[in-house]
Amino acid sequence: MSASTDILFKPFDVKSVNLPNRLVMAPMTRRKSPGNVPGADVAAYYRRRAEGGIGLIITEGTFINHKAANGYDNVPDIFSDAALEGWKHVVDEAHAGGAKIIPQIWHVGAQRLTGVEPDRSVPGYAPSAIATGDREVPVEMSKADIDEVIAAFAEAAANAEKVGFDGVEIHGAHGYLIDQFFWERSNQRTDEYGGSFESRLRFGIEVVEAIRKAVSPDFMVVFRFSQWKIDDYKTKIAETPEQLEQFLTALSNAGVDVFHCSTRRFWQPEYEGSDLNLAGWTKKITGKPVITVGSIGLDDPSWAGAKSTDVDELIRRMGEGEFDLAAVGRQLLSDAEWAIKIKEGRLDKIEPYTQKSLSGLK
C-alpha cells in the first residue's frame, strides 16, 4: 500500500445518518441464530467489527414474515418478538462500538428448498414455476402472494426502525426473489409483473414504495442489486448503460437512497469503453450515494488476486469520485480489526481470510 488511506476514513452523511467513515461491513449469512433469533454472541460479533473501525454494518440477511421467505436453517428473522428483542441488543452493541447498523431484509424465492425451517413442508415461491440451477420447481406466486410479500417487506422495514436500526437494506441481488422478478430467465409471467423489462421491474419498485411509506422520511433505504446470479455469474440484467439507466431510475424514483452495487471484483469495468465499475455507472446515472463491493481485502488469488493490504486501487477510485462507500466482506470474518489496521499502517498484523474463517463467530 502506497497511497494515503485518509479518504477511507472521512465521514459521510446520508440523510440523517452520519457515518464515521466510508468503510462498510458487507452482509454475510452466518447461520448462527438458533430458533431464528440473533443471540448475545451475534451482538458481540457485530460489536467487534464496530470497534474494529467499520463505519456502517449491514447485517446478514434476515428473513421477512412470509412462509417461504427463508432459505437456510439458523438464520434470523425480523418479525418475531424474540428476534426483534435480539436485534435491539445487536443495534445497541453496534452503536456502543461506534458504528451505524442496518439489517438486510430478504426473501429467497426459488432458492428455498422443501425441508428448511421454520415450516419445513413449505416449498419455494417464485415469479414463475421455473427452477434455476439444480433446484426444485417453485410455486408460481399469485397476485395475493405478491401483495402479501410486499406487505411483509414493509413490515420488516418498520420493525427495523422500531428497534433502532439506522436504515434498512433491501436484498434485490444474486438471484433471490426480487432479482428473480427482474431476470427474464426466472420471470416468465404474462401479467403486469412479467414480460417487458419495465414490467419485470414492477415488483421491486412496489417493494421500495411500500417500505418508503412504512418508515419515516429520514430513514435510510439501501437497495442491493447485482448483474450476476448464484446460478449464472455471466448474466446481466442490464446489457447496456441505457438499460441500466432505466433500471436504476425506476428504483431511485421509488425511494431508494443508496445503491449497493454487488460485483465479484470491484476493479473490473462494467461495460466496454469505460473504466467505471457497476457502482461508478450507478453514481453517474442516479447521482445518489453508492457502495462498491467485490473481493476487497482478499489475500488468496484463487478468490480474486487481490491482497488484504493492497487498497491503492480502492483509494484511487474513491478519490476520483467513482463511488462513495466500500463494503468489505470475508476479510472481516478473519480480522475484525482490518479497518483500523489499514488506517494505522499495521499491515503485517492483518490476518488473511481463509475458509476456516467461516466457522464460528470470531
Instruction: Average the pLDDT over each of 56-70, 149-163, 347-361 and give the range with the smallest value.
Output: 347-361
DSSP 192-219: TTSSSHHHHTHHHHHHHHHHHHHS-TTS
**pLDDT > 70: what percent of the chain?**
96
| pLDDT (0 to 100) of residue 305 | 47
Q: What does pTM read for this prediction?
A: 0.96
| pLDDT (0 to 100) of residue 300 | 53
The residues, ordered by sequence, that sit 6+ positions from 307 with a Cβ below 8 Å of its Cβ are: 298, 299
- pLDDT averaged over every residue in the chain: 94
Tell me phi and psi for residue 247, to 5 degrees: -60, -50
Judging by DSSP bridges, how do beta strands 290-293 and 258-262 pair with one another?
Answer: parallel
Residue 150, pLDDT above cutoff 90: yes
Q: What is the pLDDT averaged over residues 24-41?
A: 97
Tell me phi and psi for residue 164, to 5 degrees: 105, 5
Instruction: Average the pLDDT over each of 136-140, 232-236, 274-278 and give the range with the smallest value.
Output: 232-236
Q: Is 45 a catalytic residue?
A: no
pLDDT level of residue 352 (50, 70, 90 thresholds): confident
pLDDT level of residue 304 (50, 70, 90 thresholds): very low
| pLDDT (0 to 100) of residue 308 | 52
User: Mind listing the domains of the chain with CATH numbers?
Assistant: 6-358 (3.20.20.70)
Instruction: Average the pLDDT over each of 217-221, 263-267, 356-360 and give the range with the smallest value.
Output: 356-360
Instruction: Average the pLDDT over each of 49-58, 293-302, 323-332 and give the range with the smallest value.
Output: 293-302
pLDDT level of residue 309 (50, 70, 90 thresholds): low
Q: What is the pLDDT averaged over residues 227-253?
A: 94
**Active site residue: 46, 125, 176, 193, which one?**
176
